[in-house]
Structure 1
Amino acid sequence: MFTYGTSTETLSAGQSKEFLPDVKLELKKEEISSETLTITSTEKIIVHATSLKHNSVQTALVIPTDQLGKEYLVPPVPRIPGTNDNVTLDVTERRPFRLVIISGDQPTKVTVEGAETREVSLRPQQVAQILLQEAAELRAVRADQPVAVLLTHSCAIRLNCTCGLLLTRLSPATQEQLRFFIPPFLAKNASGETFLLLSKEDSTTIEAFDPNSPLVETTGSVVLYRPGFLLTLIPEKDFASCFVVSRIQGMQSFAVIMVHKDFTDGVRIRKDPLGSPDWQELRGTEFVSTAVELDLETNVIWHTSSKMAVYFVGKHGTALYGNPAPIVSRTPEVVKIGEVVDGWRESVKYCRDNDLQLVSFSRTVNVMQIHKELVQVKNDSMREAWIGMRRSSQTGEWYWLNNDPVTDTNWEEGEPGTEDDGQCAIMSLESGKDFGWRDEDCCKAALPVCYRRPVLFPL
């Protein structure tokens, strides 16, 4: 259940609903505004904002207040002939770029640093607009409470003397050295007009996109610009395992997927592997990327064992728009062979102490993928391991620790034996035994196979 302004709605898991905000919420030329819309929810939800006006389309992912930051580095504005080569407040397409700063749930003091430093005081859920004049280029936004910061232009010049909205949400500042990868699709048919806007604590630079060098390493943030499109890039440290991407009806919509070249076969859209993806190498890196056109209204894109980056990208005419895809889960499926040789009960505790569980090979897990992971991590000294199955002392029936029903099994020939032969299930890791199971005394010493399933939207 969530509240949108003054109305309350109840959604089922995986359900989506579209709302049209009141046009009175438009900021126009106000420097500080209280015209904001608040959305609250009893469960985790994703909020995707879309702006469509004439031939201009922009989208943005609305971030919850607990993920906002107190410090942002401001990237340089792109050089756009006809827009910022002769800035004036009197002509819409020649007006300067703006920072839009939105306060969270607390009164907030914001310091905007640049050639001239200024302070702005905001009440909860207020919005401030700061013009990015060339003569007073801004470097950073620092606040005593978490805020959101957007870089935007109301109607920047595009092609054929048209203009359109530009918008991207900035990421909070970090002191880490970060790696950013640029998928070729983002610069397709516009590589000579694509630029990277880099911001660091002490400097800002604009670099032309080089398809032979799709990796950028910096301590700040990176924003990609091409005519009609601004996009804050995802650093490698923020790669995740599961995303949800919603298409916009009537327009071409894509998921741009970037993953390590050794893990392409683990990418899934809903329950299915990618059909025949055209993986493009990111030169000089170990990553590849592909763009998949979206047919369904809602698409869950996830990886069985690794992390990746996913962008939502739409196409309207010749212009692109989009944003980083909403993350459902940052943690992929985890398979871990424990380091401690012990009994079955002790193995259960070992896995739980590592925020995992002794693996249950039920229909809710990808058994073949787990077997593949075990082949990669085991060594020649590992011959058997505990799994999360045992025999009920009351009924003698076998059950899984995760309470899933026991349907498909992989007992070795002649197994399981009687109740006197063993109460716990152990799995062979020896070559040629196909990970077969047998019953065993629960006190036998063996390694545990620990597991955590990915957190996904309903598929």
Structure 2
Amino acid sequence: MFVILLIASTFSQGLTMVSYGNDFITAFPENVAYFYPYTSRRILRITALHNDTTFTVHFNNTEKTSSVLESGKTATMLFPKTAEVHQLGSSSNSIRITSDNDIVVHSFSQTNIGTLLEKSVQTHVVQPITNLGTNYLIPSLNHSDLIQTFNRSSPDPWYQRNSSFKLIIINAEYTENTVTIVKNISGSVQEEKIKISSYQLIQIQANASLIKVESSHKVAVILTHPCLEMTASCKCNMIVNQILPTEFQGQNFVVPYIPSITQSRLLMTSNDKSTSLSHSNVQLQPSPSGLLSLSDQTKSQYVNTSGNVSLTLISPGLFIEVIPENMFAACYLLQVYSDVSSTNKQALVIAETSSKTNLHKQNNLVTNAVWFDIPGTKYSSAPVSLSESTTVIWHPTSKIAVYILENTGTTVYGGPAIAINTQLDEFGCVAIPGHYEVGNEHLSWAESLAYCMSLQKHLACPTREDIQKELPGKVDTAEEEAWIGLRRSLMTTNWYWQRTPSTTPLPSPSVDYFHWADEHPDENFTGLCASLSLNEKDKFKWKSAKCCEKKRPVCYTPAIGFYPLPLDTPLQLF
């Protein structure tokens, strides 16, 4: 019999944000071209985190069920033009994806204009319903102000009639939802209530007066523009920005440098009008349109705010939600849509300078990245080229931010990569978290090692401070000790970790972290093995002990990693 000691779950760490789940809802905003004729595609990529995953796509009163047999495999669903949300008002064009195991969902929309290479392309991560909420702040955007800010010429009258931003609000629950639209018109706050049926959506105009959306039940909120004229070649790009609930805001941000972008601004959205944004201890002043400028747009820069905000990096035809520092993750999935032989695909990675050389892509260290220190911070940034159609970028000891960018030559698109996990693990991305268990039987250290190995586990090894800090508060036991996988070498008397299961050999990590109790370890070398206290009052301190003493074993089931497989699954027509 085992007593559960610790389940190392992402969701046990307080408010975090990962992009996997088993229930999603989204929609395809309208994507038009400035010139006709055009061709277009609307795609959802659904990637399984576990073997034998079955998912169902619900659209237009029909369902399509598919299976993905391997972890890391992606199914690609192609939707018709009629799936786009064209009209204002209510619609049944929402798309819901449910599954029996965790999946991630990525959305892609592309319009090719005539026979030219011009493209209107947007991608975004579809957030699981667990990440949705009932309170959203809406960025204050005025189309004319954006045109003037980026020195674009005024569009023709046809375009002016179609120049408004739009907001798609999707009821994420199987119940009628009351949505409150909050506007600030000439200093007067006005509210409008709208009823939305189960899993239905409504599209409304989103001008600068729209400030907030509140709802009685969870909703997904997408800010979009079908054809934002902000490029010099008389063409337009669709904009898609899935807004996150207010609880996912932050105060500290590393604003990424976007190659090939010569003009950019920041848009800060806050519930408190007095909130300020600072860079290098200098408070940034917004323009009349509310946009803020950074002095140097050729490097990543650190900014902080006086209160919780969301921050959007805006450039002609490109909106990128900036990942707040408190939402950095351990592992990201990246999927590209352009030709895999193209050199115009890359990730931009923000990592701690002290550990930047430990960045991994798939199973390999990233060794050829050119890092740039971000002044006044502990971070550095680097572009990482992507030759694969799908990959993961992860870090074993510190959380990172990852953005993915693609450049068609005329259009730059992309945004935050798909956050797979916030749990740091020295062996890669985590699909199924590892967990610790305390055995009931009292055994010697050697017997405990053999016992854990017989269960395809190994003795627990809290090799880092962050692992050790996960232990307190997870058990409430009598005052006793339990064996961990630390002991001394009989040859050198140096401490080493022993954690090799019988079927999955793992390298022994270096011993550069200790959590000894007072007067330990025993310097007379009578105690060659290590145990930890199971009493929270003792702060789970370690003690050296004779290896023949009888103690309970602490076994650890290693996490199961996630690695994407090549995107060779054919398109499935819905």
Normalised to the residue count of structure 2, the TM-score between the two structures is: 0.60
Query: 1:72: Cα distance to partner?
Result: 0.8
Corresponding residue for 1:257? 349
TM alignment of 1:189-208, pairs within 5 A: 189-191=260-262, 193-203=263-273, 205-208=290-293
Are the counterparts in 1 of residues 338 and 406 from structure 2 also a CA contact under 8 Å?
no
- 2:171 pairs with 1:103: yes
Q: Deviations over 1:138-191 (max 9, x none)?
A: 11111111111111111111222211101111111139752111122x2x3434
1:168 aligned to 2:241?
yes
Please state whether the residue corresponding to 2:82 is helix, strand or coil.
helix
5+ unaligned residues in a row in structure 1: which ranges? 336-342, 362-369, 378-384, 390-398, 411-423, 429-436
CA–CA distance in structure 2, aligned partners of residues 156 and 67 of structure 1: 28
The answer for the alignment partner of 1:364 in structure 2 is none
The answer to whether the 8 A contact 2:332-2:418 is kept is yes
1:317 maps to 2:409? yes
Post-superposition Cα deviations, 1:337-380, rounded to whole Å, max 9, x if no partner, equal xxxxxx986999xxx9xxxx97568xxxxxxxx97x58x99xxx
Residue 53 of structure 1 and its aligned partner are, at CA, apart by: 0.3
CA offset at residue 207 of structure 1? 0.5
CA 1:272–1:127: 2 relative to 1, 3 Å: same
Matched, 1:386 2:444: no
Match of 2:368 in 1: 276
Count, aligned residues:
392
Report the more deviating stretch, 219-228 or 1-10: 1-10
CA shift at 1:15, angstroms?
A: 0.6
Secondary structure (helix, strand or coil) at the match of 1:263 reads helix
1:145 is matched with 217
Instruction: Report the 3-state secondary structure (helix = DSSP H, G, I; strand = E; otherwise coil) of the residue aligned with 1:262.
Output: helix
The separation in 2 between residues aligned to 1:228 and 1:345, in whole angstroms, is 65
Are 2:529 and 1:426 aligned? yes
CA 1:65/1:174 → structure 2, altered by over 3 Å: closer, same or farther? closer
Matched residue, 2:202:
128
Identity %: 24
Contact kept, 8 Å, 2:486 with 2:530, in 1: the verdict is no
The answer as to whether partners of 1:333 and 1:452 remain within 8 angstroms in 2 is no
Distance 1:407 1:266, change over 3 A: closer
C-alpha displacement of 1:18: 1.3
Q: Root-mean-square deviation (CA), in Å?
A: 3.9
CA distance in 1, matches of 2:330, 2:88: 40
The corresponding residue for 2:56 is 3
Pairing 1:236–2:236 present: no
Return the structure number with greater relative CO, CA threshold 8 A, min gap 6.
2
- The amino acid of 1:108's aligned partner reads N
Q: Partner amino acid for 1:256?
A: L
- The alignment partner of 2:347 has SS state of strand
User: Relative to 1, partners in 2 of residues 1:29 and 1:291: Cα closer, same or farther, differing over 3 Å?
Assistant: same
Amino acid at match of 2:192: R
The one-letter amino acid of 1:99's match is L
2:302 to 208, 214, 217: 214
TM-fit CA distance, 1:133: 3.0
Q: Could you give the per-residue CA deviations for residues 259-288 of structure 1, whole angstroms, max 9, x where no partner exists?
A: 111111221111000021111222222111
Q: Distance in 1 between matches of 2:411 and 2:546?
A: 62
Q: Structure 1 residue 458 and structure 2 residue 532: aligned?
A: no
Match of 2:147 in 1: 81
Listed as ranges, the matches of 1:41-52 within 5 Å are 41-52=99-110
Q: Secondary structure at the match of 2:228?
A: strand
1:455–1:332 Cα change, 3 Å: farther
Q: Where does residue 179 of structure 1 map in the other structure?
A: 252
Higher share of residues assigned strand: 2
Once residues 303 and 373 of structure 2 are traced to their aligned partners in structure 1, the CA distance between those partners, rounded to angstroms, is 12
